[in-house]
Amino acid sequence: MKQDINRHDILEKITPLIENTAMRFGYIPIEIEFVKENHRWFLRIYLYSKDKEVTLDDCENVTRSLSDFLDELIPVKYYLEVSSPGLERKFKSDKEFVIFKGRRVSIKLKTPIEGEIEKIFKGEIIDFDEKEGLRFFRFDDGQELTIPRSNIQSAKLYID
């Protein structure tokens, strides 16, 4: 018997539980995805903290704290994966510009900024506002730029 699953409804139900549990361990869930791949459901949670690294033990603790509660809320068999976002992960939402304020990033623009040829810059996030865009310190010339959000094609954490 095929079961109809509304993944958006499930995400809406489980997100507060995941956020509260992650915060108890000092982490922010920067991405929560519930997807079907090769006929199997996967719940993936990516944790981040400004103050400490995400360790395997931390992922295990969050997994143990969540699994029984999630089993009650998710009506299908699923695989739970809890991990760190990775060192050079592409941003998936605007909230990551705020979360990663002060961190080094690589920004790819849709069109070059006036007077520029390049579309890829490495630098540090100074601030982000949905209306104003990204305030960014560019490493190659020490210039501070404000880039409209609409001109940012992609962004990812950058490691030297």
pLDDT at residue 37, rounded to an integer: 93
pLDDT at residue 99, rounded to an integer: 86
DSSP codes joined into one string, 28-65: EEEEEEEEEETTEEEEEEEEE-SSSPPPHHHHHHHHHH
CA distance 7 to 38: 16
* CA 148 centroid distance within chain: 20
pLDDT at residue 1, rounded to an integer: 42
Q: Please report the domains of the chain, with CATH numbers, ordered by start residue.
A: 7-83 (3.30.300.70), 95-157 (2.30.30.180)
With 0.95 as the threshold, say if the pTM is over it. no
Q: What is the SS3 assignment for 100?
A: coil
Phi, psi of 95 (to 5 degrees): -60, -20
pLDDT at residue 3, rounded to an integer: 61
pLDDT at residue 75, rounded to an integer: 92
pLDDT at residue 154, rounded to an integer: 92
Q: Which stretches of the chain drop beneath a pLDDT of 70? A: 1-3
**Two structure tokens written together for 91:** 């941003």
